[in-house]
Amino acid sequence: MMRGGWLVAAAAFAALALTPAARAAEIARAITYDTVPRPAGLPDDFAPTNGASLRFLTITALDGNANAAALWQPQGKAAADTTIVVSVHGSGSNYHDAPHKSLGRDLSAKGYAVLATNTRQHDQLINTDNFYDDRRDIEAAVMTARALGYRRLVLHGHSLGNVQVQFYAATDWSPDVKAVILTGPFANLPWKSRNILIGSEESYKALSEDAMAGLRSGALTEPLQHKMHYITGQDVPVTAQHFLTYRSTEVSAADGTFWIRRIPYPILMVRDQADGIVLPFEPHMLLSAADAEGSLVTSIKFVLLPDPRPPSGDAHSFVGNEEKLSETVLSWLADQKL
């Protein structure tokens, strides 16, 4: 009788499982993208050359964070036959700043697509984000590129975006990702923040204590009591979550020397000789890590672009050296048969 009761219950359960309501799948979260009009305020030269087109998108990540993006495409070429570069900007920058503007224009003129996206630390959101959350924005851009029909992807990170892209590439081994490009790449951001940018153990300790207090009180997104000395030479606001995940030498994961050796793709690194933000030794720290025993990197090339000008922030973004940067990237992509 007990066995018969089990069979009846099993039959009832099976019938329930076959009802339309039980069969219907539901979406918990989704990545979405929408085509939008050209945003106001863009410079006039943010435009494609002959033989290319430019679209503007809003891309929404799985957690609901929405970002603006620009999609540069060569005309008359199917997405499935085109390599697309997914491009991520630096600290407090955006998709239309240098070097993304020139790379989008120049690469699309030569048959490549470029999807340049904002992340959740763009513009006024500088030094407010959580390092781990920015991965969602890169993921959303990558998934958008796939939805548009692209089957060969290259990841590009500039400045702060370089370590965000390294983290993504090291933790997502999708077979359609073919290569990684890092421009203006610093090496170990926590170490650099403590010893060069902040440059004071007293200030570093005060920021650390503030950030830990913010963690314990649940105020991770609030600015700390103390400000952080920054690359501009000013003391700037910083949130607890940004300090802990980017700047703390004890717990931050924003260390390119850790992530780069875990990237299973070919890598190109480019620095302008007059870069006043990334120091000359930093790309060599990344090279050393990528070439270390057991590294997964299939090949790595470092190019130092000649620039006789004095060190500057503009050179960090290749302003005035755009053509040489594009030539370097295009040559390397051709070498990779992409």
pLDDT of 272 strictly over 70: yes
- Retrieve residue 166's tokens: 């390294």
Number of other residues whose CB lies within 10 A of the CB of residue 192: 21
Could you give the CA distance from residue 281 to residue 279 in angstroms, rounded to a whole number? 6
pLDDT of 13 strictly over 50: no
Q: Residue range 87-96: average pLDDT?
A: 98
Domains and CATH numbers, the chain: 32-187+256-335 (3.40.50.1820), 191-247 (no CATH)
- Retrieve residue 11's tokens: 């039959």
Query: Scanning the structure block, which residue is given the tokens 């302008």?
Result: 272
Going by pLDDT thresholds of 50, 70 and 90, the confidence category of residue 3 is: very low
pLDDT value of position 11: 39
Q: What is the pLDDT of residues 112-125, one digit of tens each?
A: 999 999 999 999 99
Q: What is the pLDDT of residues 100-156, one digit of tens each?
A: 999 999 999 999 999 999 999 999 999 999 999 999 999 999 999 999 999 999 999
Going by pLDDT thresholds of 50, 70 and 90, the confidence category of residue 20 is: low
Q: At what angle do helices 160-171 and 131-147 cross, to 10 degrees?
A: 70
Vertex 60: Cα angle to 70 and 145 (nearest 5): 50
Q: What is the pLDDT of residues 161-175, one digit of tens each?
A: 999 999 999 999 999
Q: Residue range 27-51: average pLDDT?
A: 95
pLDDT of 12 strictly over 90: no
Going by pLDDT thresholds of 50, 70 and 90, the confidence category of residue 24 is: confident
